[in-house]
Structure 1
Amino acid sequence: METYRSNGKLLLTGEYVVLDGAVSLAVPTQYGQSLVIKPIEAQHLYWKSFDNTGTLWFEGAFSFKNFEIINQHQNESIAQRLKDILRAARILNPDFLNTPNGYEVETQLDFPKNWGLGTSSTLINNVAKWANVNAFKLLELTFGGSGYDIACAQHNTAITYQIFNKEPRINPVAFNPIFKKHLYFVYLNKKQNSRDGIAHYKALEQDLKPIISKINTITEQMLVCSDVNTFETLIETHEQLISKAIQQPTVKSLYFNDFKGAIKSLGAWGGDFILAASKTNPSLYFKNKGFNTVIAYNDMILK
């Protein structure tokens, strides 16, 4: 039996512009996904995926010959996506699953799959480890994206991430703000499709150099920030810069304009998690507005 595990992710700075070379700050989460592989005699791949409650949410079988779908439970699109991932892994390593025996595969999430913490990236990284291939190349052949989420899957500390000459530049950093007791992550009650957000961003075609330069500075300043007031100013400035770049209003102006503190979108705007900085616990404020998932920084980020 083989077991692999990958960390979930949150991008604290540089959403969207990370695709164009911005230096971004990302953190791995305590939540992640595991992949367990057990050999069986039949030459098929039997796949089961479980959510954080232990509920089976996908079940399917694939042949070893080009990973054709033998049968699937509930979700044909998920079966097709898995087929594409397995085929891409074999392109990168022709010996992948070139064996006489089959396997029973189980994936286990330890966060709700609609949270947007990396259901796809943790899967890609786990399969890449299993297939002994480069996870960034596997991502490129399947989901696409900047790759910061793969870097978080592989690192147990905060990182700065930059695409430089089309290659990832990853730098582990010590990001452990002394004011972290004032930081909270709030789920916006809907999963955001990052591919749609990226497509909108790319379609705007603009000169991003001035914005990227300012985002890089914010990332640097965040790493040395020592008080919550300065941090609030940094994330509010960041929000205004990205709002201008993607031509969308900030989440605070849309939903939380009376919030006493600072709010920043994380990842694709309009869904998943936001970061809230507040000198008092804001859980009641958000719950009164219908947002019941409020997680303290220490309970979310990998220590």
Structure 2
Amino acid sequence: MRFYSNGKLLLTGEYVVLDGAKSLAIPTEFGQDLVVEPIKEPQLIWGSFTNEGTCWFEASFDLPKLRLTSATFNSDKEGSAEFIAETLQNILLEARKLSREFGTDFLQTESGFVVKTNLTFPQNWGLGSSSTLINNIASWANVNRFDLLWNAFSGSGYDIACAQNNSPIFYQLEDKKPKIETIDFNPSFADELFFIHLNQKQNSREGIAQYRKYQKERPLDSALGDINDISTLSDEFVNAKSANDLNKIIVEHERIISSIIKLDPVKNNLFSDYFGEVKSLGAWGGDFVLATGNSDTPKYFKEKGFNTILNYKEMVKPSQILPKGGR
């Protein structure tokens, strides 16, 4: 069995997507698969591989109890073998609990499995190594992937929606339930859009915790007003007719989020002399940013020391770049 999930980028609505803002997200060209092979022994033998084919994490579990028997961590990534193994064990146990609601019992077998996961993007890119894993395990266990996310972790769920959709989406939480609308987002100025990696991974959970702290300190009407404004900007983002139109939307979006989380926009911090606009994507301070620009854009960012630069069509799956007027 093989399962595959798309990576993700949140173009609008960072942070406030948690509180119901309508947000624009794109599944990426990059993702992660999960390959399952049956074996006779009652063991789950797990191996996680980088985009270069290197095994960075290995673990073994006894079945059917899912008792951890060994774990090895071979990576510069932060963490330890035990912590990562326990996190994986928790996801698998939550998947088992959910499967029982459907009359099955995930991994409650007398035989076992060899499982391999394979990323198609570097681990530090922040395109969803965790969300793609959760979505793949949910597919394997045949359980609700949003329930698995929220039982095992936290977050808005937009990344899970991206994992299972092959076109850009509007994502919104209504009464704590995900509302997903696939859209035809095919900007005519795609060659003027670039994604630049900031050479560092941002911890989304820390960013969310900080956001929650500041939201509690704000008047309710002010918080609701910002959520409504960001929802409007998400619509305007999709309907922008040119990079100049998009620049105005980016500036206003950055201003609103900056006022909420009390951080300066990334352009102010790192790229104040840049000729286009720059927008943070997801938790501020790391991973990718979106820049509007032209053929001189790669040179500018490389001179600043940022060498991972992808244009829009390199980041977005070909199937997502849809012809005008239909799918």
For the aligned pair, the TM-score class normalised by the smaller chain equals: over 0.9
Indicate which of 86, 106, 111 corresponds to 2:121. Answer: 111
Summarize deviations over 1:32-61 as a string: whole Å, max 9, x none.
000000000110100000000000000110
Matched residue type, 2:141 = A
The Cα shift of 1:280 comes to 3.4
Alpha-carbon distance in 1 for matches of 2:240, 2:269: 27
> Any idea what SS the aligned residue of 1:8 has?
strand
Aligned-residue offset at 1:281:
3.4
What does residue 253 of structure 1 align with?
268
Matched with 1:264 is 279
Moved more, 204-213 or 9-18: 204-213
Check the 8 A contact 2:189/2:242 in 1, yes or no: yes
Greater mean deviation of Cα atoms: 184-193 or 89-98: 89-98
User: Is residue 96 from structure 1 mapped to residue 95 from structure 2 by the alignment?
Assistant: no
**Contact kept in structure 2, 1:66 and 1:87, CA below 8 Å:** no
Residues in 1 aligned to 2:296 and 2:184: alpha-carbon distance in whole angstroms: 25
CA drift at 1:232: 0.9
Cα separation, 1, equivalents of 2:257 and 2:34: 36
Aligned positions of 1:185-264 closer than 5 A:
185-204=195-214, 205=216, 206=218, 207=220, 208-264=223-279
Residue pairs, 1:48-59, within 5 angstroms = 48-59=47-58
Over the matched positions of the two proteins, sequence identity in percent amounts to 50
Structure-2 residue corresponding to 1:60: 59
User: Unpaired runs of 5+ in structure 2?
Assistant: 74-80, 319-327
Note the C-alpha offset of 1:98. 1.7
- Alignment partner, residue 158 of structure 1: 168
**2: CA distance, partners of 1:90 / 1:221:** 42
Structure-2 separation of matches of 1:84 and 1:286: 40
TM-score normalised by length of structure 1? 0.98
The structural deviation recorded for 1:68 is 1.6
Name the residue aligned to 2:188: 178
- Cα deviations across residues 90-117 of structure 1 (Å, max 9, x unaligned)? 1101310122210000000000011100
Q: What amino acid is the match of 1:150? A: I
- 1:270 shift after superposition: 0.1
2:87 to 76, 81, 85: 81
More deviation, 33-42/216-225: 216-225
Instruction: Give, in whole Å, the separation in 1 of the partners of 2:288 and 2:52.
Output: 20
1:301 aligned partner: 316
Report the CA distance between 1:66 and its aligned residue.
3.5
Give the equivalent residue in structure 1 for 2:295. Answer: 280
Cα drift, residue 65 of structure 1: 3.7
- Of stretches 114-123 and 94-103 in structure 1, the one that deviates more from structure 2 is 94-103
Which residue of 126, 129, 140 maps to 2:150? 140
Per the TM alignment, residue 279 of structure 1 is displaced from its structure 2 partner at its CA by 3.1
Tell me, yes or no, if the aligned pair for 2:64 and 2:107 is still in contact at 8 Å: no
Taking the aligned partners of 1:109 and 1:161, their CA distance within structure 2 comes to 24
Secondary structure of the residue that 2:272 maps to in structure 1? coil
Using the TM superposition, name which of 91-100 and 167-176 deviates more.
91-100
Which of these residues, 113, 138, 158, is aligned with residue 128 of structure 1?
A: 138
Count of residue pairs the alignment pairs up: 302
Q: Deviations over 1:55-80 (max 9, x none)?
A: 00001101224322100012221111
* RMSD, aligned CA: 0.8
Measure, in 2, the Cα distance between the counterparts of 1:263 and 1:68: 47
Unaligned runs of 5+ in 1: none
Local SS of the residue matching 1:93: helix
The residue that corresponds to 1:40 in the other structure is 39
Counterpart CA distance in 2 for 1:113 and 1:48 is 15
Runs of 4+ in 1 over 3 A off after TM superposition: none
Offset, 1:140? 0.2
Q: What SS does the corresponding residue of 2:124 show, helix, strand or coil?
A: coil
